[in-house]
Chain A
Amino acid sequence: MILAGRVVLGIACLVVWHAAHLALGAEWISSPADIVTRTVEIAIDGELWRHTLATLTEATFGFLLGGGAGILVPFALRLSPRLTAALDPFFAAAMGVPKLALAPLLILWFGIGITSKVMFVAAVVFFFLFFNTLAGVRSVDPRLASAVRVLGAREWTVTWEIAWHTALPYVFAGLKVALPRAISAAVVGEFIAADRGLGHYINNARAMADTVGLFTGVAVVTLLVLGIDTLLERLQARSLAWQPLTRDAGV
Chain B
Amino acid sequence: MSRGQALRDRLVVAVVALAAWQLAALVFGAHWVSPPLATARRFLQLVADGELVRHAGFTLAAAAGGFLVGGLPGAVIPFALRRMPRLAAVLDPYLVAGYGVPKLALTPLFILWFGIGLASKVALVASVVFFLVLFSAAAGVRAADVRLVGMARVVGASEQAVARHVVWPGAVPFIFAGFKISLSYAIGAAVVGELISSNRGLGYLIQAASQDFDTTTVFAGLIAVTLLVIVINEAVEAAERRVLKWRPADAQPQRRLVTAA
The chain A residues found within 8 Å of chain B, CB to CB, are 1-2, 5-6, 9-10, 13, 28, 78, 81-90, 92-93, 96-105, 107-109, 137-142, 145-146, 163, 180-181, 183-184, 187-188, 191-192, 199, 202-203, 205-206, 211, 214-215, 218, 221-222, 225-226, 229
Question: Does the CB pair B196–A90 fall under 8 Å?
Answer: no
B21 CB, min distance to chain A CBs, angstroms = 13
Apart from A96-B229, A101-B221, A139-B260, 11 more pairs, CB < 8 Å:
A9-B90, A82-B9, A85-B259, A90-B17, A97-B225, A101-B192, A105-B206, A108-B218, A191-B196, A218-B108, A221-B105
Question: Does the CB pair A78–B260 fall under 8 Å?
Answer: yes
A5-B90, A89-B10, A108-B218 known; A192 and B207 CB under 8 Å?
yes
Question: Does the CB pair A100–B191 fall under 8 Å?
Answer: yes
Question: Does the CB pair A187–B226 fall under 8 Å?
Answer: no
Residue in B closest to A226 when the chains form the complex, CB atoms: B100
Question: Does the CB pair A104–B105 fall under 8 Å?
Answer: no
Give every chain B residue within 8 A of A225 (Cβ-Cβ). Answer: 100-102, 105
Give every chain A residue within 8 A of B191 (Cβ-Cβ). Answer: 98, 100-101
Residue in A closest to B229 when the chains form the complex, CB atoms: A96
The contact sample of 20 A-B pairs, CB cut-off 8 A, is A5-B86, A81-B259, A86-B13, A88-B257, A93-B226, A98-B184, A98-B225, A100-B191, A100-B195, A104-B206, A107-B210, A108-B213, A108-B218, A138-B259, A181-B102, A188-B192, A203-B196, A206-B108, A206-B112, A225-B101
List B residues 206-235 near A (Cβ within 8 Å): 206-207, 209-211, 213, 215, 218-219, 221-222, 225-226, 229-230, 233
